[in-house]
Amino acid sequence: MSIKRTLIAAGLTLMAAIPALAQSDFPTKAMTYIIPFNAGGESDISARFQQAEWKEHTGQDVIIQYQSGAGGAQAWSQLNSIPGDGYTIMGINLPHTVLQPMEGSVGYKTDELTPVNYFHYTPNAIFVTQDSEYKTLQELIDYAKENPGLVTFAGSGAKSANNLGQLQFDDLAGVKTTYIPFSGTGPSITAVLGSQTTAGFNYATSGTNQGDALRMLAVASEKRLPAFPDVPTFKELGLDIVGGAYRGVAVPDSTSEEMRQRISDIVTEINHDPDFIKKMEDGGFVLTDIGYGQMPAFMKKMKAEYAKSAAALGIGN
């Protein structure tokens, strides 16, 4: 091979390597992490836990901003207008981003969003006050069977993960309860604490925030949570209920495939950080680590699952 041809070949090899090098060097400056809800909720708390580890794993800071409104839809409808250079990412939630577009026009469609990693979910759980007459889930079920509709559950939002969990509970337990939606986890827990409702169908994370004021009767996780080792799962009690709200990270649709994978890898790396794991598990979160490569199959499964629930929620009727 001539010197000229050798130099050309070397140049082409170098050019091919540049994108890979650029991806491995990313990020080279601070990133922005948009949370589609107000500060203080589960999306914010888990993002703050990530933020604490971000610089150690990437060499750069991540700055959290809030863009609340319309149950997250305001931010998600604007996601694809953001430059897809990887430096702005956004929190994304299920079932919100499946059920909202099914219900009507919210400025985006589910398939227009680009989640790259779902890193945890907050399991549903049933709470009563510490002085409640219901000491076990079976006692609550027995009362609900004898008094159809009289057991009231406070939950975070209508057509939400809490609402879906309550409907599944009614179906599997053979009872009829009444779901009362509130504007968020905080107000719904306040209602439970104030005995405005019989119980709460909330997220397990609420148990870490209220201390001994609440008693958790059951949690919708595959196994008992480290933060609540004495609380049985629904499955242990004979009800096949596993679920809650999934939370992850999304990017604009103009983001390259390589950059999507890189951001997913960052989230995964943090998900395996011992300090991050401890904070999350102590807070009642369940780590999932569903990366970009698994996303098509995961979203197909979840869309089918939520479509079955939509009719029960009155969506599409």
For the chain, what are the domain ranges? 8-119+245-310, 122-219
Identify the CATH class of 8-119+245-310.
Answer: alpha beta
75 in the Ramachandran plot: left (φ > 0), alpha (ψ -120 to 50) or beta? Answer: alpha
What is the average pLDDT across 102-128?
Answer: 96
Q: Could you confirm whether domain 122-219 is CATH 3.40.190.10?
A: yes
Same fold, 8-119+245-310 and 122-219: yes
The per-residue pLDDT for range 257-295, each reduced to its tens digit, is 999 999 999 999 999 999 999 999 999 999 998 999 999
What is the average pLDDT across 181-207?
Answer: 91
pLDDT of residue 36: 92
Confidence check: pLDDT of 196 > 50: yes
- CA 67 – CA 85 distance, rounded (Å): 20
Q: Are 125 and 202 in contact (CB under 8 A)?
A: yes
Q: What is the three-class DSSP state of 112? A: helix
Percent of the chain with pLDDT over 70: 92
pLDDT of residue 131: 96
Buried b (16+ CB within 10 A) or exposed e, 21-38: eebeebbeeebebbbbbe
Confidence check: pLDDT of 133 > 70: yes
